[in-house]
Amino acid sequence: MTPTATDASTKTSLTGIKPTDTPHLGNYLGAIRPALKLSEQFKSYYFIADYHAITTLRDPVALQQNVYDVAATWLACGLDPERTVFFRQSDVLEVFELAWILSCLVATGQLERGHAYKDALAKGDAAPNAGIFYYPVLMAADILLYDTDVVPVGKDQKQHIEVCRDLAVRFNHVYGDGVLVVPEAHISEDAPLVPGLDGEKMSKSRGNSIPLFASAKELRKVVMKITTGSETLEEPKVAEGTTVYELTKQLTPSIADDMKRKLEAGNYGWGHAKQDFFEALDAELGPKRDVYTAFRSDEEKLDRVLADGAERARSLARATMARVREAIGIARPIDDLRRTVSLKRSDIPM
Ligand code: TRP
């Protein structure tokens, strides 16, 4: 048979979004927009990692609200739930079964080297909870459950994907080649950090973030707070490395080219640059803002979209788990039959 090139459309891209905050511009530029771009080429499974969030977030109302904020944000930014399987992690319980199985294959030492765990210790948390320790295992299960080929994530998640790859390789080595798909991280190494208002990495906790769906008026007010140099209007200015220019470059490169030229020419102040950035931002976010508001005010609709995604996710998860259970010697064929068609014991002829 003639070997054929792998058809990208049959590959699966998967990512998880932790609902610990309302998404901001940094999340949009760094994660949401690139993942949605990828979903044009790949089969995609994007989910809200609510069970990962409870390692740090213990406010049930905030968690619930964040889940809806995240769901409405992704839908407003263009996620098509017909095309992308979009769901809550907590709706597919098979993930815990796989996580347990994987935990029996990982050395505790590897988890002790985990960034999240080490960071918690470094921050003075003398006894981080076991969920933080176990975090990479649940994340590996998230990925392996759906036969994932590529995982679009930020650089900070690289180590987690490595743990996941190790686990998939180890599983296949112990239990049989090809049972689990070994995924790859999709990280653009050169992707610059998205700077916040003060030029440091944009983050909600630093208080330097730009909201995605504030009104145009509020958005403009926030943009005007971006830190700039103090040159006079007339002076020529260096664009490279300044926050307003970097943000514009990441948002819309062609507008940034223009901005750079104008800054270098002089007679164009930082206020003008911020106004140009605001206009570009409002042009990109304005139409999404209305879609966001419509989705966010209809939690039942969001629940329906996520429940439909969960249904589709579950059918793939069940197929993977049937394979995994058989490989590890847990499955009896009758068990799988019962799971799939929900027969009661009394329905099964002895
Ligand atoms: N740990 C990821 C983050 O903090 C979220 C996440 C959970 C995830 N499960 C995942 C990302 C699976 C990719 C794949 O951003």
CATH of the domain at 234: 1.10.240.10
**What pLDDT band is residue 339 in, cutting at 50, 70 and 90?**
low
How much is the pLDDT for 10?
A: 82
Q: Which residues contact 212 (CB under 8 A, 6 or more apart)?
A: 23, 24, 25, 27, 28, 73, 285, 288, 289, 292
Mean pLDDT value across residues 276-284:
98
118 within some domain: yes
Mean pLDDT value across residues 108-137:
93
| Domain match, 18 and 151 both | yes
**Ligand 1 pocket mutation, candidates 45, 96, 153, criterion most atoms within 8 A of CB:** 153
How much is the pLDDT for 191?
A: 74
| Domain match, 31 and 155 both | yes
Q: Look at residue 338 and tell me whether its pLDDT is greater than 70.
A: no
Q: Which domain holds residue 43?
A: 12-181+298-347
192 within some domain: no
Give the chain's domain count.
2
Q: Token match 């969920």: residue?
A: 131
How much is the pLDDT for 1?
A: 37
- Write the DSSP assignment of 37-105 as a string of letters: HHTTTSEEEEEE-HHHHTTT---HHHHHHHHHHHHHHHHHTT--TTTEEEEEGGG-THHHHHHHHHHTT
d(CA 28, CA 191): 13
Q: Look at residue 345 and tell me whether its pLDDT is greater than 60.
A: no
Q: Which of 35-39, 56-60, 252-256, 342-346 has the lowest mean pLDDT?
A: 342-346
Task: Report pTM.
Answer: 0.91
Mean pLDDT value across residues 9-29:
93
Q: How many A from CA of 342 to the centre of ligand 1?
A: 31
CB count within 10 Å of CB 221 equals 12
| Domain match, 219 and 326 both | no
DSSP-derived 3-state class of residue 27: helix
How much is the pLDDT for 154?
A: 87
DSSP-derived 3-state class of residue 305: helix
Q: Look at residue 313 and tell me whether its pLDDT is greater than 90.
A: yes
260 within some domain: yes
- Residues touching ligand 1 (Cβ under 6 Å) are 14-16, 18, 49, 52, 139, 142-143, 151, 153, 157, 160
In this predicted model, what pLDDT tens digit does every residue of 205-262 receive, in sequence order?
Answer: 999 999 999 999 999 999 999 999 999 999 999 999 999 999 999 999 999 999 999 9
**What pLDDT band is residue 63 in, cutting at 50, 70 and 90?**
very high
Mean pLDDT value across residues 185-189:
83
Q: Which of 103-117, 233-247, 303-317, 323-337 has the lowest mean pLDDT?
A: 323-337
CB count within 10 Å of CB 252 equals 18
**Ligand 1 pocket mutation, candidates 12, 18, 85, 92, criterion most atoms within 8 A of CB:** 18
CB count within 10 Å of CB 277 equals 25
